[in-house]
Amino acid sequence: MTTDVFVTADDIPWQDLGAGVRRKILGYNDAMMMVRVEFEAGAIGAQHRHPHVQCAVVEKGSFDVAIDGRTKRLNTGDGYMVPSNVLHGVVALEPGVLLDIFTPIREDFLGEPVAYAAAADATQA
């Protein structure tokens, strides 16, 4: 299971996740996945956890990022890392974009999109 080695973002459709959040799966192979997630101002990436290790870069905007009970305000160019099964979530303080990398890949992202911001206590998202 893999995508092409080159990514042309304009060729990839957005997936609407509801509540002001949408994503593009930019590419993946058997080991990792790269996903762009766009947020409207005030949109919430609900607190959740998953077995995947995740790192992210704030491509644009400002976010309050909560990881394992700690919250920090991150801006364009900042990043964070989430260990496996650690509770985490974000709040977009203005329109913004996160670039997420997951290992292993989020196979659940390859099916129909599930609401990303629906439940504040979600355990998978």
pLDDT digits over 76-123, tens only?
A: 999 999 999 999 999 999 999 999 999 999 998 987 766 655 444 444
The yes-or-no verdict on residue 125 having pLDDT over 60 is: no
Phi/psi at 86 (5° precision): -100, 135
The yes-or-no verdict on residue 74 having pLDDT over 50 is: yes
Distance CA 13, CA 113 (A): 12
Ranges 14-28, 56-70, 77-91, 104-118: which has the least confidence: 104-118
Task: Walk me through the domains of the chain, giving residue ranges and CATH numbers.
Answer: 9-110 (2.60.120.10)
Ranges 48-52, 60-64, 98-102, 106-110: which has the least confidence: 106-110
For residue 111, what pLDDT is reported?
A: 79
Distance CA 42, CA 35 (A): 20
Six token digits for residue 86: 């650690």
For residue 116, what pLDDT is reported?
A: 57
Distance CA 41, CA 49 (A): 23
Burial 83-119 (b: 16+ CB within 10 A, else e): eeeeebbbbbbeebbbbbbbeebbeebeeebeebbee
